[in-house]
Chains A and B, each alone.
Chain A
Amino acid sequence: MGIPGDEILSRVATGDGHGENTSYFDGWKAYDNDPFHPIHNPNGVIQMGLAENQLCLDLMRDWIRKNPQASICTKEGVSEFEAIANFQDYHGLPDFRKAIAKFMEKARGGRARFDPERIVMSGGATGAQETIAFCLANPGDAFLIPTPYYPAFDRDFRWRTGVQLLPIRCHSHDNFKITEAELAAAYRKARDSKIRVKGILITNPSNPLGTTMDRETLRTLVRFANEERIHLVCDEIFSGTVFDGPEYVSVAEILQEDPSTCDGDLIHIVYSLSKDLGVPGFRVGIIYSYNDAVVSCARRMSSFGLVSTQTQLLLASMLGDDDFTTDLLAESRRRLMHRHRAFTAGLEGVGIRCLQSNAGLFCWMSLKPLLKDATAEGEAELWRVIVNEVKLNISPGSSFHCTEPGWFRACFANMDEETMETALRRIRTFVRRANDAATAAKTKKRWDTSLRLSLPRRFEEMTVLTPRLMSPRSPLVQAAT
């Protein structure tokens, strides 16, 4: 790709390891070029590819209004300005660490305890993942990761570290759960290729699935890590977004319930406030490790991405307000559940099925019936139509390394209700037109068959489905809008 001046740069700088040339980001670009706005651009692309939580910012805004002392820059708080602006200790403000630990406990219903001394800052979860990789693995080493997974892990975990990510395949017939068989297979495959596996990376609750991991699977992973003496890194960034049963189980609880099951030196949690609180702009990433050497090393590395003390102070105050955080978490869950139900019901109304989920800011939906071909190309084609013609930026499963084509992640918490309704309307229109086209094509086929015209193979392969589902191979998908 030669940008002027790139001949004298490193391979890391000129390569594609940042991952921004993938489809995950293409959709973003389409959105950036034509962003939806209810008044100024009602036909623009609706952003459903960004897992942001915008549902409770009003509650935090109100808190800030009532608590001017939490800002060092207000009349009430300026007396702290000098001390805060000057504080660059990478341990972070003690109150900040305490508040984070307390909040993490609360998000887990008090079922886990967190020691503020183990709280290490990083430049968002992005920075946390990279730092953990730097601490635990050498270039060429690998981590196993269940598919589908958050696309940017390829950048965060691998780009500058040289560490590999190898998939543990998960399948829809298992509801994408991790099985012992697949875990063992992935591990064996790596070993056979002479690749050194240093650990397993999971996201719980899962992105993109929106599901929480059951206790048994977590125990299996912990046991496996312990037996093979490899690390288990648990990205719990969505832990505060669990809006429904089954109850969330953090890896912290597994360790706590029976410390003898696993060597704590192998267990590490990555956390952030970007999803639970919806403050990605504040860049608050946290590494919580049960391994003292990792805490020490990660803390030194945190110099490369500390949280602004202005932000630490604000959040220490906000998250230190017990009543507020209790109410916030409860209200956040309620609003997420409401939004999730409205969205998934809307999809069901046109025959689109989502994986049953109880957390996260998105749903994992199956658009297999809408695929022309049940292949990666078929998925890509459908996706292009949805982005460019239906004008919804949803994320194709392939960008999450999903092995089965036709799955898409759609975010629902980064918009207001009206926009969500607009998105659902567009989906309904799209699906209905496609169904009508499929029906018309089917009718046409009968006529054509009776006229004995030779048709392209794809028409002959069309299957008849219920009126609510579209033909998976309809050539009219492109003409649907």
Chain B
Amino acid sequence: MNQMLLSRKAACNIHGQDSSYFLGWQEYEKNPYDPITNPTGIIQMGLAENQLCFDLIESWLENHPDPAAFKKDGALLFRELALFQDYHGLPAFKRALAKYMGEVRGNKVAFDPNRLVLTAGATSANETLMFCLAEPGEAFLLPTPYYPGFDRDLKWRTGAEIVPIHCSSSNGFRITKPALEAAYQDAQKRSLRVKGVLVTNPSNPLGTTLTRHELDILVDFVVSKDIHLISDEIYSGTNFDSPGFISIAEATKDRNNVSHRIHIVCSLSKDLGLPGFRVGAIYSENEAVVSAATKMSSFGMVSSQTQYLLAALLSDKEFTDKYLLENQKRLKERHDMLVEGLRRIGIGCLKGSAALFCWVDMRHLLKSNTFKGEMELWKKIVYQVGLNISPGSSCHCDEPGWFRVCFANMSEDTLTLAMQRLKSFVDSGDCGSNHDSGHQRPRKTFLTKWVLRLSSTDRKSER
């Protein structure tokens, strides 16, 4: 194939789909677990989906047949919906979405539907914001570890760059002022003009929420550098535990003159578990951003059929109240099940309170404290143990040995089986733990800073 025929974008690798994150998916696709037809297949723990609450939505649909069947008061609305291609979106849907966003944030802030831009998923929202805020070659700072898909969404077709804000396990991967400054300097050294910071809150892959302090230093930082702050809050409805979720909207509501640089991304793919419907949105108080992004949304709008259905669903306060509570409850139960299951194997996690996964510490299982060691361990877990989990390196983590493990996209039985498989693997000693005691010491001194739950028997295998 003559590569010159295509564009550079087509020929390059920035879309990142040759990375381990996606390779794990491919392996799963070739050999997917099924309790009956393929019980030894690979269990998908690399996909952050929320499959815990479909029954709630299904029962709502059964009780509200009208919106489902394109009807309003019995009359078929098919024609109107089929023709509706206004990129401002269905007003009823934006109103419902704005209301829902407020509810997810405990109604501590209200959202104006006119400041919403609908996009085909958060994937499209993030790319669109990059097109609006950065020239090709300009950079956004992102705390590591971060969602692997950002390499595609933020950089691929936009030509923008990502410069990492290094976060470490030493303080629970929190964002610090020195780290922000260091990242900014790194960008300068690379002659990259920084246009903003992008954070995911709740965090993917950490499963933690940003503290008020972190939010404040972020805002101070972007103000001092005169740059933007994008807050990807697509997991906002998956907060299931304390300390609770604070939106950037809440953190800035009493601050003057910052709203024009704050932009929020949301989606219904995680909260409601509807990734197939491609519903994303940008929320900004910056008129110019809303205006430009709205025009760009022509390239990826939300199907009017879907807008209509979800307008009805989300404007039903009784439903959304019940859903948010029940969703949190089920997520917490499932999360706790995973954490406990790992604990019994001597594996700890970063203490998480949101999202659909745990950030799991398998450093003690590495043969060598290197990314090569991490890859070796990952391959064993995918091919031998049959679990597709995501290695920290695919999330640009600085330290080898961390893995993202999803828990909300499978049944309880499947999760139990996954833990059994992992236990067998660890017990067999096949993983090859780290014999170099020198590497053990530093980790243990930080035990007080985050929770590492180990039983006394497990401590022995750690050495």
Q: Footprint of B on A, CB under 8 Å?
A: 3-6, 8-14, 18, 20, 52, 54, 57-58, 60-61, 64-65, 68, 71-75, 78, 81-82, 84-88, 123-124, 126-127, 130, 134-139, 141, 155-156, 160, 229, 231, 265-266, 274, 277-283, 291-294, 297, 300-301, 303-311, 314
Does A304 contact B299, Cβ atoms closer than 8 Å? yes
Does B6 contact A297, Cβ atoms closer than 8 Å? yes
CB-nearest residue of chain A to B80: A281
Chain B positions 51 through 86: 1 when the CB is less than 8 Å from some CB of chain A, otherwise 0: 100100110011001011110000010110111110
Name, among A8, A135, A294, the residue most crowded by chain B CB atoms within 10 Å (CB to CB): A8
Q: Name the contact of B276 in the complex, choosing from A20, A85, A123, A139 (C-beta under 8 A).
A: A85
Does B306 contact A86, Cβ atoms closer than 8 Å? no
Q: Name the contact of A126 in the complex, choosing from B69, B138, B298 (C-beta under 8 A).
A: B298
Give the docked Cα–Cα distance between A118 and B3 (Å): 19
Residues on B with beta carbons closer than 8 Å to the beta carbon of A84: 276
Residues on B with beta carbons closer than 8 Å to the beta carbon of A88: 269, 275-276, 278
Give the size range of B's interface with the partner.
35 or more
CB-nearest residue of chain A to B121: A306
Give the docked Cα–Cα distance between A370 and B260 (Å): 49
Does B5 contact A231, Cβ atoms closer than 8 Å? yes
CB-nearest residue of chain B to A282: B303
Shortest distance from the beta carbon of B225 to any chain A beta carbon, whole Å:
11
Contact A9-B292, Cβ < 8 Å, known A297-B6, A300-B17: yes
Contact A81-B299, Cβ < 8 Å, known A12-B131, A68-B69: no
Q: Name the contact of A304 in the complex, choosing from B70, B123, B295 (C-beta under 8 A).
A: B123
Residues on B with beta carbons closer than 8 Å to the beta carbon of A74: 65, 68-69
Shortest distance from the beta carbon of A467 to any chain B beta carbon, whole Å:
41
Does B123 contact A9, Cβ atoms closer than 8 Å? no
Main secondary structure of the interface of A (DSSP, over half): helix
Does A293 contact B10, Cβ atoms closer than 8 Å? yes
Give the docked Cα–Cα distance between A293 and B299 (Å): 22
Residues on B with beta carbons closer than 8 Å to the beta carbon of A52: 83
Judged by a CB distance under 8 angstroms, whether B273 is at the interface is yes
Contact A78-B82, Cβ < 8 Å, known A13-B131, A304-B127, A308-B278: no
Residues on A with beta carbons closer than 8 Å to the beta carbon of B309: 73, 310
Q: Name the contact of A64 in the complex, choosing from B78, B120, B277, B291 (C-beta under 8 A).
A: B78
CB-nearest residue of chain A to B78: A61
Contact A160-B226, Cβ < 8 Å, known A10-B135, A82-B58: no
25 CB contacts below 8 A, A to B, read A4-B286, A8-B195, A8-B228, A10-B138, A12-B292, A18-B296, A20-B295, A52-B83, A54-B83, A57-B82, A61-B78, A73-B309, A74-B65, A78-B62, A81-B58, A81-B61, A82-B51, A88-B269, A123-B298, A124-B299, A138-B8, A141-B7, A266-B5, A282-B304, A294-B10
Shortest distance from the beta carbon of A163 to any chain B beta carbon, whole Å:
9
Shortest distance from the beta carbon of A235 to any chain B beta carbon, whole Å:
16
Give the docked Cα–Cα distance between A49 and B146 (Å): 46
Q: Name the contact of A308 in the complex, choosing from B83, B227, B277 (C-beta under 8 A).
A: B277
Shortest distance from the beta carbon of B311 to any chain A beta carbon, whole Å:
13
Judged by a CB distance under 8 angstroms, whether B212 is at the interface is no
Does A308 contact B305, Cβ atoms closer than 8 Å? yes
Instruction: Give B71-104 interface residues, CB cut-off 8 Å to A.
Output: 76, 78-79, 81-85
Contact A10-B132, Cβ < 8 Å, known A5-B260, A57-B82: yes
Does A9 contact B133, Cβ atoms closer than 8 Å? yes
Further 14 A-B residue pairs, CB within 8 A, beyond A64-B69, A73-B309, A304-B120: A18-B296, A57-B78, A73-B67, A84-B276, A123-B300, A124-B299, A134-B7, A136-B10, A265-B2, A278-B83, A283-B300, A292-B1, A304-B124, A311-B305
Main secondary structure of the interface of B (DSSP, over half): helix
Judged by a CB distance under 8 angstroms, whether B301 is at the interface is yes
Residues on A with beta carbons closer than 8 Å to the beta carbon of B17: 300
Residues on A with beta carbons closer than 8 Å to the beta carbon of B112: none
Does B69 contact A73, Cβ atoms closer than 8 Å? yes
Shortest distance from the beta carbon of A41 to any chain B beta carbon, whole Å:
18
Give the docked Cα–Cα distance between A447 and B69 (Å): 70
Give the docked Cα–Cα distance between A265 and B127 (Å): 28
Residues on B with beta carbons closer than 8 Å to the beta carbon of A130: 299
Does A85 contact B277, Cβ atoms closer than 8 Å? yes
Q: Name the contact of A8 in the complex, choosing from B70, B123, B261 (C-beta under 8 A).
A: B261
Shortest distance from the beta carbon of A216 to any chain B beta carbon, whole Å:
26
Judged by a CB distance under 8 angstroms, whether B354 is at the interface is no
Residues on A with beta carbons closer than 8 Å to the beta carbon of B58: 78, 81-82
Judged by a CB distance under 8 angstroms, whether B454 is at the interface is no
Does B301 contact A86, Cβ atoms closer than 8 Å? no
Does A5 contact B287, Cβ atoms closer than 8 Å? yes
Judged by a CB distance under 8 angstroms, whether B157 is at the interface is yes
Shortest distance from the beta carbon of A12 to any chain B beta carbon, whole Å:
6
Q: Name the contact of B135 in the complex, choosing from A3, A11, A279, A280 (C-beta under 8 A).
A: A11
Chain B positions 104 through 143: 1 when the CB is less than 8 Å from some CB of chain A, otherwise 0: 0000000000000000110110010001111110100000
Name, among B54, B278, B296, B304, the residue most crowded by chain A CB atoms within 10 Å (CB to CB): B278
Contact A124-B298, Cβ < 8 Å, known A64-B78, A73-B61: yes
CB-nearest residue of chain A to B50: A86
Name, among B82, B291, B292, B306, the residue most crowded by chain A CB atoms within 10 Å (CB to CB): B82
Judged by a CB distance under 8 angstroms, whether B213 is at the interface is no
Judged by a CB distance under 8 angstroms, whether B443 is at the interface is no
Residues on B with beta carbons closer than 8 Å to the beta carbon of A278: 82-83
Give the docked Cα–Cα distance between A73 and B16 (Å): 35
Contact A10-B301, Cβ < 8 Å, known A4-B260, A282-B82: no
CB-nearest residue of chain B to A293: B1
CB-nearest residue of chain B to A230: B5
Q: Name the contact of B120 in the complex, choosing from A8, A123, A292 (C-beta under 8 A).
A: A123
Judged by a CB distance under 8 angstroms, whether B288 is at the interface is yes
Chain B positions 144 through 164: 1 when the CB is less than 8 Å from some CB of chain A, otherwise 0: 000000001100010000000
Shortest distance from the beta carbon of A36 to any chain B beta carbon, whole Å:
16
Give the docked Cα–Cα distance between A137 and B5 (Å): 8
Residues on B with beta carbons closer than 8 Å to the beta carbon of A82: 51, 54, 58
Q: Name the contact of B303 in the complex, choosing from A9, A68, A81, A310 (C-beta under 8 A).
A: A310
Does B85 contact A71, Cβ atoms closer than 8 Å? no
